[in-house]
Chain A
Amino acid sequence: MKNFNRRSFLTSVSAGLGILRFGLAKGKTPDFSGQIVELIIPFKEGGGSDTWGRFNAPFFSRYLPGQPTVVVRNVPGGNSIAGSNRFAARARPNGLQVLGTSASTQFPYLLEDPRVNYEYRDWRVLMASGAGGVAYISSDLGVKNVSELGAVQDKQLLYGSQGPTSLDLVPVLGFKLLGLNVRPIFGMSGRGAGRLAFERGEINIDYQTTTAYLRNVVPLINQGEAVPLFSWGTLDESGQLVRDPTFPALPHFAEAYELLHGEKPSGPGWESWFSFFTAGFPAMKLLVAPKDTPDEVVNAYQNAVISMKQDPEYIARKPAALGTYEQVTGEAAQRLYELATDVPQQARSWVRTWLRDEFQVKIEV
């Protein structure tokens, strides 16, 4: 069923009838004093995106002109599709409504899921931040580091996945490219559930994002229960994959590939992996505004991000709450945004075919 778009319907009707609409602030320099800014998070309360939003909200409140009240609004549904659709249909371009998306919002868009009614390229990016992750393996397998992975190539490994089209498609495809025989077990309710299954011995290969890895997997490594393999890596200024600065001792994914195959990664599978990796990790969280948002408002947000990064409280609290990755704005954010949303058509259809052949998942409804 086509989503009935009440706002645009009404707007056209009211325009047709010549009814004046009030409330659209059209100032030169925005002043948000006394107003309420809604930071819409299309996920449930308590998750990673929610925490991200709630961490940032008070700082935006402090540094946006006029010091508005910034509230986090959770609009969950359909793994963020519902809330993002609603934002696309209804949000006014006045800076009072902004949306915080995550990789789960970007993947269905990239896979051209028919339920998606939002167009990333219409939005204006205000802030972007990434995340990294580390893959690790059970010590029972006798593998000491990534170069020994060849020894278990014939053995079936189990990985706990949240679903074929979730962010977990990056690790699952990555393991496949490395030539590992990894069977994903679908239906994990989150990354935490996967880690728990690893600790129970139900699965034997897993990855965690950086903060969860440092907090909960490093103790396992120290106890000798887990062995780190590689980090996904991160992107440098020129968009090349480099080692994750948080884990300088660990090879990144392309290095791991080279160690196992003896050559640099290439081919459509690798290119698709790289596109989805970029959308999923270095550009995991994006803060966006509706497309007609005036430059002044966008600038106000960008300045707020720059100011808040110098706030001593921000500096003190951010590593524990959000991890070590920087939140960027301006051009840096724009570049990540383009990398994340401009995935070549080839890569998209390659992944769709792979999902269909391997897991019988059809994206069409």
Chain B
Amino acid sequence: MVEALLSALANLATLQHLLHLVLGVLLGLAVGAFPGLGGIAGLSIMMPFLYGMDTVSALATLVGLVAVIPTSDTFTSVLMGIPGSSASQATVLDGFPLSQKGEASRALAAAFSASLMGGIVGAIILTLFVQIARPLILTFGSAELFMLALLGLSMVGVLSGASLIKGLAACGLGLMVGSIGGAPATGEFRMTLGIDYLYDGLPLVIVGIGLFAFPEITDLLRKNQAIARGGLIKGKWFQGVRDVFQNWFLCLRCASIGTLIGAIPGLGGTVVDWIAYGHVVQTAKDKTQFGKGDIRGVLAPESANNAKEGGGLVPTLLFGIPGSGAMAVFLGGMVLLGIEAGPAMVSSGLDLTYTIIWSLALANVIGAGSCMFLARPISRLTAIPFNLLAPFMIMVVSFAAFQATRQFMDLVALIGIGMLGVALKRFGWSRPAFLIGFVLASQAESYLNLAVQFYGWNMLTRPGVVIILSITIASVWFSSRSNKDSKNTEIQSENAPHTAQAKIKLPQILFLTGLLAFLIYSIWSSLQLSPLGRMFPLGIGFGTVCLCFYLLMMLQVGPETNAANYDLEYSTASKTNEKHTALWRNAIWFAVLIGITALVGFQLGVLFFFIVFLKLKALQNWHITIMLSVAALLLISFLTNFLLVELPAGLLSFYIDLPWLLGQLQ
């Protein structure tokens, strides 16, 4: 082992390796910072060059690329509330409120320091762990994996806010929406309404953006302030770095969680940030600030998500089974380079394995380090008046959504999920709970199916199952107890019932009725399937229907102070009642961009949208309008013409071939 480690370090220290690593890191940072691009786009850009390189250099570039994508996607999560990839969804929860307080540079500095630390801790754990990883991973059977999914779902307990029933219902709804598409066991399609687009379910990126970014953008549009309401607070950058040192033990714990969960094949990296976030909320003494800008809510997911990539290497290298989308791409790259993943990676190929692990750590240092320097200048974006920033954000969000599957329906789905996000936020349904349910739906279902087929009730006698189940029960118990201790504090931003009890309950009742209609349709649709295909959606569907009926009943007959009653728009505390019309009206700006895009394609669509928005909504003069519109057009044209990124095509391109710069692929 020592020999392999030394040879790995010798590999690492060569100039050629370092240069290619830096190249990969820079590319990774650039594509990671742009929401929706991520590792897959990075790989596509890199692939043509891969052929000219020798194996070591190509691998270094590949590692550098994969390592830093969960680093730079933090920029948009924190600054704009746009989760660029699934790795930074939980970061939005506290990162964005910090930006609104004017502490963006602190949040970013803390996030990058935590990423850096997470990356290094992950590499150390892996160095020690990789040789015993194989037998250890094999003890995780489908029953254990199902229990891990349950553990993930139990985080809903601390993320549901004031009304636990509502949190559970939100989670159940997330599970149902997550079950749309092919059943994992049989491939039967369910709840698709006959729409091709829904065969594979809704893409996670769109759900993340729709739930978190869309409602914030519409909200900011009507307030029309800068994101940092009171302006930037100076001198916060260094505090962010200090935050990591003050919470070093938390970062260490979350990095370990990230590495281990990332290392288990099948659970995937998508829940790591939520488990880390749930963990910090559970263990924190003072929970009052979570969701309102508690720095620990940034540190936890960020230290976990970089460590996760390291953990994800284990199943990828040892079993040839990628744990996440980024790792699938990495594995694909390895195959093309002729490196064979498999058991040999811990025997004859151990030095290569160590080279990869430590390249990953080094890439994290370089990546997070450069982001640290960028944190302060880039955080100034939050001081820009929102009317100038908004068209860019709407463009970026639509672009990111389209990259999910590169179909026009992605944009339609964005609006649909976005409106759901607006409603969930307004009526106090926990969006994190919904998202956890959504993310875990397919894993929970497929491992439940497998575990039942393999073990039946006997699964409860497996030691691994018992251990994970005990951890789950203990964590639920502890969090419910500490909730009681601080009875009057609200954990989540979603709910502050004292300020949002509504006298007019009709909107809430309509919303609930809509949900019930969806659930009943889903149950009906599942009834047509084979037993394996319908077991899960039927169970979850019935459970959620019961919860929704309970909420409906509480709304009808319960007292006004009931936790079920929550409406930000009709709240007794809200100052004006005109707001709620404006809320829906602002969502229309998304529809404007998407509508123009449908006609003339995305590039011209962006151009016209910018002009319309800046003249009609932002009331800018022609000078600024033209300047910003052309800037946006150039940015988008660059992406499609030089990086070969696909953009939504419009009807126009079916009739004429648009000239260069405006030309579309497809």
Give A contacts to B, CB under 8 Å.
1, 3, 7, 10, 14, 19, 21-23, 36, 38, 44-47, 50-51, 54-55, 57-58, 61, 69, 71-79, 81-82, 85-86, 97, 115, 158, 162-166, 185-190, 192-193, 195-197, 199-200, 202, 212, 215-216, 219, 313, 317, 320-321, 359-362, 365
Contact = CB atoms under 8 A, between A and B. Distances in A.
Contacts of A7: 654
Contacts of B138: 196, 199-200
Contacts of B532: 186-187
B457 interface: no
Contacts of B48: 58, 61, 69
B338 A321 contact: yes
Contact of A73 (B343, B406, B446): B406
A166 B332 CA distance: 22
B608 interface: no
Nearest to B322: A46
Interface string B225-256: 00000000000000000000000000000000
Contacts of B336: 51, 54-55, 317, 321
Contact of A163 (B43, B44, B186, B200): B186
Contacts of A3: 196
Nearest to B142: A202
B448 to A, nearest CB: 9
8 contacts: A38-B666, A51-B335, A79-B199, A85-B196, A185-B450, A186-B185, A215-B342, A216-B342
A1 B197 CA distance: 12
Of A115, A158, A187, A313, most B-chain CB atoms within 10 Å = A187
B561 to A, nearest CB: 46
A330 B656 CA distance: 34
A85 B409 CA distance: 15
Kindly state the interface size class of chain B when it binds its partner: 35 or more
Contacts of A215: 320, 340-342
Given A1-B195, A189-B184, A78 B342 contact: no
Nearest to B657: A23
A215 B344 CA distance: 9
A197 to B, nearest CB: 7
Interface in B613-665: 644, 646, 651, 654-657, 665
Contacts of B44: 71-72
A136 to B, nearest CB: 15
A78 B644 contact: no
B463 interface: no
A22 B446 contact: no
A78 B320 contact: no
Contacts of B449: 186-187
B328 interface: yes
Query: What are the nearest 8 A-B pairs in CB distance?
Result: A46-B328, A78-B199, A1-B194, A320-B338, A187-B185, A163-B187, A186-B185, A23-B657
A187 B184 contact: yes
A209 B646 CA distance: 33
B111 interface: no
Contacts of A10: 651, 654
A58 B336 CA distance: 12
- Summarize A's interface: helix, strand, loop or mixed: mixed
Contacts of A81: 196, 199
Nearest to B340: A215
Interface of B: 40, 43-44, 47-48, 51, 138-142, 182, 184-189, 193-197, 199-200, 265-266, 319-322, 325, 327-329, 331-332, 335-336, 338-344, 405-407, 446, 449-450, 453-454, 530-532, 644, 646, 651, 654-657, 665-666
B472 to A, nearest CB: 22
B51 A313 contact: yes
A115 B184 contact: no
Given A82-B197, A202-B454, A216-B319, A196 B265 contact: yes
B196 A77 contact: yes
B40 A45 contact: yes
A77 B199 contact: yes
Contact of B332 (A51, A197, A361): A51
Contact of B321 (A54, A158, A196, A362): A196
A317 B320 CA distance: 19
Of A3, A196, A215, most B-chain CB atoms within 10 Å = A196
B51 A45 contact: no
Contacts of B344: 219
A255 to B, nearest CB: 29
A187 B43 contact: no
Nearest to B49: A58
Given A199-B138, A313-B51, A361-B186, A45 B446 contact: no
Contacts of B186: 163-165, 186-187, 359, 361
Contact of A75 (B328, B332, B406, B644): B406
A289 B141 CA distance: 43
Nearest to B181: A78
Given A58-B51, A78-B182, 7 more contacts: A45-B329, A54-B336, A186-B532, A193-B266, A196-B138, A200-B141, A216-B320
A360 B530 contact: yes
A59 B340 CA distance: 22
